[in-house]
Structure 1
Amino acid sequence: MKYSDLAGKSAAELQAMLKEKKTELFTLKIKQKMMQLQNSSELKTAKKDIARINTALTAVAK
């Protein structure tokens, strides 16, 4: 996901995406604790996506 993909979205869409990504991150963390996560780089990707969404939300709020 790139920031340019998020720039045109509304605040409601971004909030929905943020909730979805946070749920995904939670699931990945649980899988990691239970030693079921195959690719640990998914955690890093999910965190960066959450940060990009938060940045887009801040830009929309201004």
Structure 2
Amino acid sequence: MNYTDIKDKSLTELNELLKEKKVLLFELKAKLKTMQLTNTSELRAVKKDIARIQTAITATK
């Protein structure tokens, strides 16, 4: 997900997307703790997506 994809969305869409990504991050962390996560780079990608969404939210305010 690129910042250019995110910056055109409305504030409500960004908040929904942020909520989804945070739930996904929680699930990935739980899988990591139980040794079920095979691709650990997913954690980093989701964290970066969350940061991009938060940046877009701040820019729209």
Which TM bucket (shorter chain)? over 0.9
* Identity across the alignment (%): 59
Cα-Cα RMSD = 0.3
1:8 counterpart = 2:5: no
2:41 maps to amino acid: S
Structure 2 residues without counterparts, runs of 5 or longer: none
Stretches of structure 1 that go unaligned for 5 or more consecutive residues are none
> In structure 2, what is the equivalent of residue 22 of structure 1?
22
Q: Which 4+ stretches in 1 moved above 2 angstroms?
A: none
Query: Which residue number in structure 2 is paired with residue 54 of structure 1?
Result: 54
What is the correspondence of 1:36-55 to structure 2 with a 5 Å cutoff? 36-55=36-55
Separation in 1 of the partners of 2:6 and 2:48?
A: 13
TM norm structure 1: 0.97
Relative to the length of structure 2, the TM-score reads: 0.99
Paired residues in the alignment total 61
